[in-house]
Amino acid sequence: MNRSRLFLGAIALIVVVILINSTFFIVNQAEQVLVLRFGQVKQTVTAPGLHVKAPFIDDVVRYDARLLAVDPPPEEVILGDQKRIVVDTYTRYRISNPLQFYQAVRNEDGAAARLREVVNNAVRKVLGNVMLPSVLSPERESIMHDIQQQVSEASKPLGITVADVRIRRADLPPETSQAIFRRMQSERQREAAEARAQGQEKAQEIRARAERERTVILAEAQRQSEILRGEGDALSTKTFADAYSQDPGFFAFYRSLQAYKQALSGADTTYLLSPDTDFFRFFAKAPSPTGGN
Amino acid sequence: MSWKEPGSGGGPWGGGQGPWGRGSGGSGPPNLDDLLRKGGERFRRFMPGGGFGGSQIVSLVILILLVLWGIGGFYTVAQDEVGVVLRFGAFDRITPPGLHYHLPSPIETVRYPPVTRINRTEIGFRSPLGEGMRSPTGAELGNENLMLTGDENIVDINFSVFWQIKDPEQYLFDIRDPEGTVKVVAESAMREVIGQLPIVAPLSEQRTAIAQRTRDRMQQLLDAYRAGITVVQVQLLKADPPAEVIDAFNDVQRAKADQERTGNEAEAYRNGIIPVARGDAERIVQEAEAYKEQTVDLAQGDAQRFLSVLAAYKAAPDVTERRLYIDTMEEVLKNAQKVMIDPNARGVIPYLPLPELAKGRPLPAPSASSASPSAPPIVSVAPSVTGAGK
C-alpha cells in the first residue's frame, strides 16, 4: 500500500512540475516574447518578468530586445566619379515589432539576410551618386545619414528599427592602393628634392652675399688706402717744393751731391779717373813735370 | 520548446548558467530536474528499511532540500563589480560589492558586470598574448590599420580604446556584443576623422586632437546605441606612412636636414670669410696710414735738413759750395776702387784687371763718365783690355 501511495505521490509531483513549467514563463530583461497558440500569434510580451500562458497549447517565441548587429562583408562599390572603393558597413538594429518580425523574417538569420540586401542596395544607390572627395570630407556624415535613412525606410516592414548604418571602412581596392602608394612616393620625392634644392639655393645666396661683402670690404679698404697714400705723397711733395724753391740752384747742387753719395759710394765701384779733373786740381800740381812736357 | 525553457535555465539569459552567472549556478540550488531525481533516490533508499515513518522521512528530506535551496541565495559581489539582481528575468536592483542575499533561483538571479574595470580594445594591432609571441601583421588583420586620408593618401594607424561600463543596466540589457560594437564604432569614428584630414595631420602634433575627436564621436554613437559604455580614452599609438612609402617619407626628413645643413655650411663659410676680410681691410688701411705718416715725416725731415744747409750756405756760399763738393767726392771715392790714367801718357797701353768684368759686371764705364766726363777713351779701351788679360 505504502509503495503504491508513494509511487502515486511521485507521479503527482512530476505532473505538477510539468504543469508549472508549461504554464509559467519568464521573460528576461533583454527579451521580448511572442505567445503562439497553434502557430497563431496570440500575444506580444515585452515586459520582463513572470508570465502565464495556457499550458501545452501555447508556445513562446523569444526575441532579443537588445541592439543587434549585422556586419555584412566588405563590398566593392563604384562611385559617381567611376572610382571604385571597398566599403565595409555595419548595421545596428532592434526588433521593435516582434509580431511583424515573426511574420516577415521569422528569426534573426532571416533578418540579417534581408538587411544585408537592403544595406547593399542603399550603399550602392547613395554612393553611386557621390564623388570620392565627398566620402573623404565632412559630407561623409550626411552620406551615412542618407544610407541609414534608406535602410530604415526599406526595413520598416521587417518589424525592426535601424539604429544606425555606418561606413566602417571606405578603402581603395588593393590595386588602386598600389597606385596611391606610388603617388605618395613621388610626392615625397618631389618634396625632398625641393627641400634639397632650396637648401642649395639658400646656401648659394649666402655664399654669394658673403663673397660680395668681402670684395666690397676689401675694395673700400683699398680706396681708403690709396686716398691716404695720395695724401701722404701730396704733403711730402709740397713740403719738398716749399723748401727747395727757396734756392733752386743750390737745391740742384746739393741734391746732386746727395745722389752721388747715395749712388756711387759703394766699394764695388771702380773709377777711372783723370788727374785733370777739378777734384785733382791740387793733386796734379805736384807731379807737374809730366804735364810740363 | 516552451515546456523546457522556464525552469531549466537553458536560455542564454535564463537561469544562473548564462555567460555571466558564475555565482548562483554553481554553488546555488539545484534545478527542478535535479531535485526530482535526488528526491526519488532518497525515497527508494529508505523504503526497505522501515515500513513506518515514511512520510516523516519524506517531510524531513523535503525540508532539508528547501533549506539547501534557500542557502543558495547568498552571493558575493567582488570589488570591481556590481550585482545586478533580476527577478524572474526582470531587472530589480543593483547591489554594491559585499555579501548579499537574493531569493533563490529561479526566482531571482544575479549578474556581475565588472564596472570599474577599464577594458581595452586594440585596432590595427594586437598585443602579443605572451612572452615570445608574435603580434599579427597589418595584413593579417585585414589591413584595418590602413586608413584613407582626406587628401587621398593612406596612413598606417594603430590605436587603443579604453572604455568602461557606465550603466550596467544598459550594458547588460540594451546591447548585444558590446565589445564588438566598441570595435566597429572605434574604427568607423577614427576613419571618419582621419578621412577628413590631410595626411600631415596624423603625422604631426595633431594626433592628440584626432584621438580626442575620435573619443567624442565614439561616445556620441555609443550613447545613441544606449550601450551603457563610457569611452575613457582613445590612444593613438602609431600614425605612420604605410610601410611601402615610409622610405620616401623618411627621405623627406633627411632632405629637410640636408637643407638645413647646407644652409649652415654656407653660414659657416660666411662667418669664416667676412671677419678675415675685415681684418685684411683694416690692415690695408693701417698700412696706408703708416705710409702716409712716414712719407710726410721723411719729407719734412729732408726739407728741414735742406733748409738748414741752405741757411749755412747763404752765410758763405763759395766756401760752402767747395766744401760740400770736396766732402762728397771724398766720401764717394773713399771706398771705391780707383784707377788713375793720365790722358797725356799716350804711349802707354793701359792694363786694366777690372774685377767687375771678371765678375761679369760691366759697370765701370758709367761711373767713370759721371766721375770724370772728360775721359771718354778709357771706356772704349776697357773691353779689349779685358780680353788681353784673360
Whether B296 and A236 lie within 8 Å, measured CB to CB: yes
Contact B165, B115 (CB under 8 A): yes
Given a cut of 80, is residue A208 above it in pLDDT?
yes
Query: In chain A, what residues touch B37 (CB-CB under 8 Å)?
Result: none
Same domain, A72 and A127: yes
Residue A89 maps to a domain: yes
Same domain, A128 and A84: yes
* pLDDT of the residue at B101: 92
Same domain, A203 and A152: no
**Between B158 and B7, the higher pLDDT residue:** B158
Residue A281 maps to a domain: no
User: Which cell goes with B295?
Assistant: 712719407
Among A164, A184, A246, select the one facing B245 at the smallest CB separation: A184
* pLDDT of the residue at A165: 93
Given a cut of 90, is residue B388 above it in pLDDT?
no
Tell me the pLDDT tens digit for each residue of B185-241. Answer: 999 999 999 988 898 888 888 889 999 999 999 999 999 999 999 999 999 998 888
| Strand, helix or coil for residue B229 | strand
CA separation for the pair A167, B191 (Å, rounded): 9
pTM of the model: 0.66
Among residues A206, A96, A169, the alpha carbon closest in space to that of B269 is found at A206
Is A75 within 8 Å of chain B by CB?
no
Q: In percent, how much of chain B has pLDDT > 70?
A: 70
Q: State the average pLDDT over residues A22-45.
A: 88
Same domain, A130 and A225: no
Mean pLDDT in chain B? 77
**Between B366 and B93, the higher pLDDT residue:** B93
Strands (DSSP E) contained in B89-217 are 90-95, 98-101, 108-111, 119-123, 146-148, 154-165
- Give Cα A117 to chain centroid, integer Å: 38
Q: Any idea what DSSP says for residue B118?
A: P
Given a cut of 50, is residue B5 above it in pLDDT?
no
Contact B142, B126 (CB under 8 A): no
Is A139 within 8 Å of chain B by CB?
no
Among A59, A202, A243, select the one facing B263 at the smallest CB separation: A202
Residue A283 maps to a domain: no
Same domain, A43 and A11: yes
* pLDDT of the residue at B15: 40
Tell me the pLDDT tens digit for each residue of B272-312. Answer: 999 999 999 999 999 999 999 999 999 999 889 888 888 88
Pairing of strands B154-165, B119-123: antiparallel
* Domain with A214 in it: 189-232
Tell me the pLDDT tens digit for each residue of B16-42. Answer: 443 444 444 344 445 556 655 665 565
Same domain, A121 and A157: yes
Tell me the pLDDT tens digit for each residue of B96-122. Answer: 999 999 988 778 899 999 999 999 999
Among A24, A177, A206, select the one facing B6 at the smallest CB separation: A24
Q: Please count the structural domains in chain A.
A: 3
Among residues A250, A42, A102, the alpha carbon closest in space to that of B308 is found at A250
Is A206 within 8 Å of chain B by CB?
yes
Residue A250 maps to a domain: no
How far is the first Cα of chain B from the last one, in angstroms, to the nearest whole number? 153
Same domain, A56 and A72: no
Phi first, then psi, for residue A77 (nearest 5°) are -125, 145
User: Which cell goes with B296?
Assistant: 710726410
Residue A122 maps to a domain: yes
Query: In chain A, what residues touch B192 (CB-CB under 8 Å)?
Result: 140-141, 167
CA separation for the pair A40, A58 (Å, rounded): 9
Query: In chain B, what residues touch A272 (CB-CB under 8 Å)?
Result: 339-341, 352, 364, 368, 371-372, 375, 378-379
Same domain, A160 and A196: no
* Inter-CA distances, A169 with A125, A144, B187, B216, Å: 17, 12, 7, 19
User: Which cell goes with B271?
Assistant: 662667418
Tell me the pLDDT tens digit for each residue of A71-84. Answer: 888 999 999 888 88
Among A28, A177, A206, select the one facing B14 at the smallest CB separation: A28
A71: closest chain B residue by CA: B184
Q: Which amino acid is at B19?
A: P
Q: Which residues pair with B109 in a beta bridge?
A: B86
Same domain, A72 and A56: no
Pairing of strands B98-101, B108-111: unpaired
Residue A293 maps to a domain: no
Given a cut of 50, is residue B384 above it in pLDDT?
no
Phi first, then psi, for residue B184 (nearest 5°) are -70, -35
Is B129 within 8 Å of chain A by CB?
no
Query: In chain B, what residues touch A79 (CB-CB under 8 Å)?
Result: none
CA separation for the pair B85, B237 (Å, rounded): 39
What SS3 string covers B43-106?
HHHHCCCCCCCHHHHHHHHHHHHHHHHHHCCEEEECCCCCEEEEECCEEEEEECCEEEECCCCC
Same domain, A89 and A166: yes
Pairing of strands A68-70, A75-78: unpaired
Residue A47 maps to a domain: yes
User: Cα angle at B390 between B349 and B367, to 5 degrees?
Assistant: 60
Same domain, A112 and A158: yes
Given a cut of 60, is residue B48 above it in pLDDT?
no
Q: Which amino acid is at A37?
A: R
| Strand, helix or coil for residue B107 | coil
Domain containing residue A114: CATH number = 3.30.479.30
Given a cut of 70, is residue A285 above it in pLDDT?
no
* pLDDT of the residue at B133: 60
A222: closest chain B residue by CA: B284
User: Which cell goes with A60?
Assistant: 513562446
Same domain, A30 and A81: no
Residue A266 maps to a domain: no
Residue carrying C-alpha cell 602579443: B128
Contact B82, B93 (CB under 8 A): no
